[in-house]
Amino acid sequence: MADADPPDLGAYTTRAGAAAIGARLRRLSERIDRDAGRLYAEIGVDFEQRWFGVLNLLSLFGPLSVGELAAALEVSHVAVSQVRQALTAAGLISWEADARDGRRRALRLTDQGQALVERLAPLWRALAEAAVELDQEAEAALAALERLERALARRSLLDRARDRLAPRP
Partner DNA sequence: ACAATATCCGTAAGCACTTACATTTCTGGA
Partner DNA sequence: TCCAGAAATGTAAGTGCTTACGGATATTGT
136: amino acid identity, one letter: Q
Per-position x/- string for 22-51, each x denoting binding to a second copy as judged by CB under 8 A, each - no binding? xxxxxxxxxxxx-xx-xx--xx-----xx-
Any contact of residue 58 with a second copy (CB under 8 A)?
A: no
| C-beta closer to a second copy: residue 112 or 156 | 156
| C-beta closer to DNA: residue 102 or 167 | 102
Report what 48 binds from DNA, a second copy, none; CB cut-off 5-8 Å by kind. DNA
Report what 122 binds from DNA, a second copy, none; CB cut-off 5-8 Å by kind. a second copy
Rounded to 5 degrees, what are φ and ψ at 105? -125, 130
Report what 56 binds from DNA, a second copy, none; CB cut-off 5-8 Å by kind. a second copy
Which of the residues 116 through 155 are near a second copy (CB under 8 A)? 122-135, 137-152, 154
Extract long-range pairs of 50-57: CB within 8 Å, 24+ residues apart: 50/83, 51/83, 51/86, 51/87, 51/92, 52/124, 53/83, 54/80, 54/83, 54/84, 54/87, 54/93, 54/107, 55/87, 55/92, 55/93, 55/109, 55/113, 55/116, 55/117, 56/117, 56/124
Among 78, 91, 115, 162, binds a second copy (CB under 8 A): 162
